[in-house]
Amino acid sequence: MKTFRSIICGFDFTPDSEAALKEALRIAAEEDGTVVACHVIPPRYIDDQQQFLNLPTDVILSKVQRAVELRTNEIDGDSAVRPSVKVLMGRPEFALTEEAREMRAELLVLGSSTSDQKHRTGVIARRCIGEASCPVLINRNQHLGRYRSIIAAVDLTDLSQQVLEAAAKLAVDEEASMKVIHAHYPPWMHPTNVLYDLKPSQDEDFQKQYQEILDEEMAHLVRVSSQFLPLTPEPDVVEHVNPVSAVLTHVHSSSADLLIFGSHGASSLKERVLGTTAERLLLGSRCSVLAVPPATPLLT
């Protein structure tokens, strides 16, 4: 059961990117896959080198290529997979996602630290999630090794099934435990119900029926998504005035080391847009995250 065979990893010589490359190599080795380490340089850098050192572009690119090859060869160590190297020009978020699209990569891996204020993820990583057509793994805190505990956050939209399928397949491959959580803000918790005098939402029978419908939708999602997988994840429905906080609290209290969620929100202006909930989960999570975009062919 192979989940990610073709992997691209952003590499910029930082410790976070080096750890991300090691993780990409680990995943590829377990799934008989390939890894391309992509280093992106801005056109401005090329212009400066040409102006001050009088070096032609091909010479500059070949030197950069060689430097990346030397470092990645040191990093791969005893890995069964040797990464290939590609040097790209442009803005990293666009260059990496376009390369992933052209290669039909099944996973884009990036490194990120949570040591900065409020555990914030870098702008490049956030933009890559918004632009990518494949799942994006943000490897946090230089995580290495298999994931032990996976939580899939779903919102019961069409994308939820893809999120759950990706999570279940990865949990099987990683031999990890898995839970599915749906956090929602029910009508009876809205303060406007008092102002609007929407009494039915305060009725106990209404609340019970509402909860039963949600439980059934979650159960149906789990049944449909896991019917071909040797795994039945544990579903959990949580009521909270702040669903994002509820998910993050659940993730942190359970010591999960991977949070999986859908990356995109609905938009009439742009097909690829990072959803508000997804961005808040991304920014608030202390563990590694896997963002799954719509229409990602994960099942084989």
Percent of the chain clearing pLDDT 70 (strictly above)? 86
Q: Do the bridges between strand 34-41 and strand 84-89 make them parallel or antiparallel, or are there none, so unpaired?
A: parallel
- pLDDT at 299 > cutoff 50: no
Distance CA 300, CA 298 (A): 7
Cα–Cα distance measured from residue 276 to residue 226, given in angstroms and rounded to the nearest whole number: 28
Distances (CA, A) of 216 to 74, 162, 209: 51, 18, 11
Mean pLDDT, the chain, rounded, equals 85
Which helix (DSSP H) or strand (DSSP E) does residue 86 occupy?
strand 84-89
Dihedral sign of CA atoms 187, 189, 191, 195 in order: positive
DSSP letter string, 207-224: HHHHHHHHHHHHHHHHHH
pLDDT, one tens digit per residue, over 249-276 is 999 999 999 999 998 754 444 444 567 8
Beta-bridge partners for 35: 7
Classify residue 295 by burial, with Cβ atoms within 10 Å: 0-12, 13-18, 19+.
exposed
Give the rounded percent of residues in the chain with a pLDDT score beyond 90.
Answer: 47
User: Comparing 51 with 252, which gets the higher pLDDT?
Assistant: 252
Do 254 and 149 contact (CB within 8 A), yes or no? yes
Alpha-carbon distance of 64 to 147, in angstroms, equals: 33
Query: What pLDDT was estimated at residue 43?
Result: 84
Query: Taking 90 as the threshold, does the pLDDT of residue 103 lie above it?
Result: yes
Query: Given pLDDT bands bounded at 50, 70 and 90, which one contains residue 240?
Result: confident
* Whether pLDDT at 297 is above 70: no
Paired tokens of 82: 């040797």
β-strand 177-184 against 107-112: which pairing, if any? Answer: unpaired
CB of 222 closer than 8 Å to CB of 180: yes
Angle at 219 between CA 217 and CA 201, to 5 degrees: 40
Most confident of 113-117, 123-127, 197-201: 123-127
- Give the residue ranges of DSSP H helices in the chain: 15-30, 43-53, 57-76, 92-103, 123-131, 159-174, 192-196, 204-226, 243-253, 276-284
Which of 53 and 60 is assigned the larger pLDDT? 60
The structure tokens listed for 165 are 């399928």
The confidence band for 150, taking pLDDT boundaries of 50, 70 and 90, is very high
How would residue 32 be classed by pLDDT, with cut points 50, 70 and 90?
Answer: confident
77 pLDDT band, cuts 50/70/90, is: confident
Does the predicted TM-score (pTM) go above 0.85? Answer: yes
What domains can you pick out in the chain, each with its CATH number? Answer: 1-145 (3.40.50.620), 147-287 (3.40.50.620)
For 137, phi then psi, to 5°, come to -100, 120
Segment 29-48 mean pLDDT: 89
Higher pLDDT, 78 or 25: 25
Least confident of 68-72, 192-196, 229-233, 250-254: 192-196
Burial class from Cβ neighbours inside 10 Å (0-12, 13-18, 19+) for residue 270 reads: exposed
